[in-house]
């Protein structure tokens, strides 16, 4: 069961697992992320729903993570939650421009991005597991 002391580690664990799963999906079927962005490009409703989801999830992560200035993981998870809120707001307010930026800088390079994200996801899982093994 999660406690206030272990909550950042639990959130890091599940964020890391999600990131790893998304990266495996992209690496198994290259171009999946590009097709997802193409769907967002076509649909205002998809951008709105994606933005609302990112906003809600980010706000939840930010609000439930206890602030502990002595714990770098607590700070990192709070920052991730805040960035997700910002991402949601940007998708809602200017989703078309966000998609255009993605297409300009990242389209066709999803294998590299998935590889980098997989390393970051694995790092989150590793940190979380190292914290949770002592509880």
Average pLDDT value for residue range 34-63: 97
Residue 29 per-residue DSSP state: S
The model's confidence at residue 5, banded by pLDDT at 50, 70 and 90, is confident
The model's confidence at residue 27, banded by pLDDT at 50, 70 and 90, is very high
Average pLDDT value for residue range 51-58: 98
The model's confidence at residue 89, banded by pLDDT at 50, 70 and 90, is very high
Look at residue 135 in the predicted model and tell me its pLDDT. 61
Average pLDDT value for residue range 97-121: 94
| CB neighbours of residue 13 within 10 Å | 19
Question: Which residue pairs from 112-115 have beta carbons closer than 8 angstroms and sit at least 24 positions apart in sequence?
Answer: 113/26, 113/33, 114/22, 114/23, 114/26, 114/27, 114/33, 115/23, 115/27
């Amino acid at each position: 069961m999660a406690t206030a002391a272990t909550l950042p580690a639990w959130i890091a664990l599940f964020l890391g697992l999600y990131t790893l799963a998304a990266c495996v999906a992209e690496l198994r079927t290259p171009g999946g992320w590009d097709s997802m962005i193409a769907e967002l490009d076509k649909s205002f409703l998809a951008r709105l729903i994606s933005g609302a989801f990112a906003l809600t999830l980010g706000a939840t992560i930010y609000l439930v993570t206890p602030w502990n200035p002595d714990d770098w993981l607590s700070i990192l998870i709070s920052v991730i939650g805040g960035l997700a809120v910002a991402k949601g707001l940007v998708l809602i307010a200017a989703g078309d421009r966000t998609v255009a930026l993605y297409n300009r800088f990242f389209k066709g390079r999803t294998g590299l991005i998935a590889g980098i994200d997989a390393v970051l996801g694995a790092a989150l899982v590793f940190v979380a597991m190292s914290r949770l093994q002592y509880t």
